[in-house]
Amino acid sequence: MKSEHLSGHKPGDCRNIALNTSMLMLIITCLALFTSGLPCSGQAASGLHLSNASLLDPAKHIVYRGIENVISLRSDSLQTDSILLQAKSGTISGCCGEFKAEAPDSGQQWMLYVLMPDTAGIFQSVDSVIMEIRDIPDPEAIIAGKSGGKIKKEVLLAADSLTVIVRNCYLKKNPWRITSFKLSYTRDYFLYEFEQRDGCRFADQQRSAMSNLHLGAVFHFINIRVKGPKGSIKVLPELTFEISL
């Protein structure tokens, strides 16, 4: 009785089919390994790594508008003096893997191009990195962590100064500082207002007045002026407090 073979294959073809299948699996495996090693956003060709030293977490691909972002490029295999960073908008200066970058005035993303010299010494783009552009949030003045409301006199005097903060911001250094403010309060139906005080610390006269405030007395910090990126000036909302137990 003759044996029948499916699909017209001869018995000797089974080994060929198995070999072809193994070869196909090997090719698929090699392709998977190859594509997993392709450069991605933030990790350029030749093992390049980008970081923003201006951030609390330098690995985040974020730049802030209005300031100089300190960008570093490192390579696993190349000397940093052969690496350049460029962009079609904004400004980038520096060399040897260390750059100062100012994001463009508009847009939410910024494409940075990584350049390396070819064998002829001509710089060519080898990779690109997309950075997210963020605006620095508006600053906020506080005293002892509070932006108003009831406050104990001893907590107020211990604070000794106004503080400016920026919420929801990854910057390592606060770009805003208080340049001046006024203190005013009402006592016995009379309004008392001190002259504009330079800096953020309480003057001796202000401290003396605050130490004499009675329970329930209301006082205000007004005309709080702050200086920020590129010398910009803002006047912040007044802070209103009430002395409590």
pLDDT in tens, 61-100: 999 999 999 999 988 877 778 889 999 999 999 998 999 9
Q: Tell me the pLDDT band of 41, cut-offs 50, 70 and 90.
A: very low
Do 182 and 223 reside in the same domain of the chain?
A: yes
Look up residue 97 and give its amino acid.
Answer: G
Report the C-alpha gap between 87 and 60 in whole angstroms.
19
Query: What is the structure's pLDDT at 11?
Result: 47
Residue-wise pLDDT tens digits, 194-228:
999 999 999 999 999 999 999 999 999 999 999 99
Q: How many CB atoms lie within 10 A of CB 222?
A: 16
CB 160 within 8 A of CB 179: no
Quick one: what percent of the chain has pLDDT higher than 70? 81
Residue 83: is it exposed, middle or buried by C-beta count within 10 angstroms (0-12/13-18/19+)? buried
For residue 186, tell me if it sits in a domain: yes
Residue-wise pLDDT tens digits, 125-150:
988 999 999 999 999 999 999 999 99
Do 192 and 163 reside in the same domain of the chain?
A: yes
3 state SS of 233? strand
Q: Which residue has the higher pLDDT, 33 or 245?
A: 245
For residue 13, tell me if it sits in a domain: no
Smallest Cα–Cα separation from 94: which of 112, 111, 110? 112
Do 187 and 232 reside in the same domain of the chain?
A: yes
For residue 56, tell me if it sits in a domain: yes
Its pTM stands at 0.74
Smallest Cα–Cα separation from 41: which of 112, 113, 130? 130
Do 57 and 113 reside in the same domain of the chain?
A: yes
Quick one: what percent of the chain has pLDDT higher than 90? 67
Query: What is the structure's pLDDT at 163?
Result: 97
Please spell the DSSP secondary structure of 143-202, one letter per residue: BTTBSSEEEEHHHHHHH-B-EEE-SS--BSS---EEEEEEEEEEETTEEEEPPPEESSBP
For residue 26, tell me if it sits in a domain: no
Quickly tell me which residue has 């010398």 as its tokens: 231
For residue 94, tell me if it sits in a domain: yes
Smallest Cα–Cα separation from 110: which of 92, 136, 137, 83? 92
Range of the domain at 163: 140-244
Number of domains observed in the structure of the chain: 2
The neighbouring-strand residues paired with 243 are 151
Query: What is the structure's pLDDT at 189?
Result: 80
Do 124 and 92 reside in the same domain of the chain?
A: yes
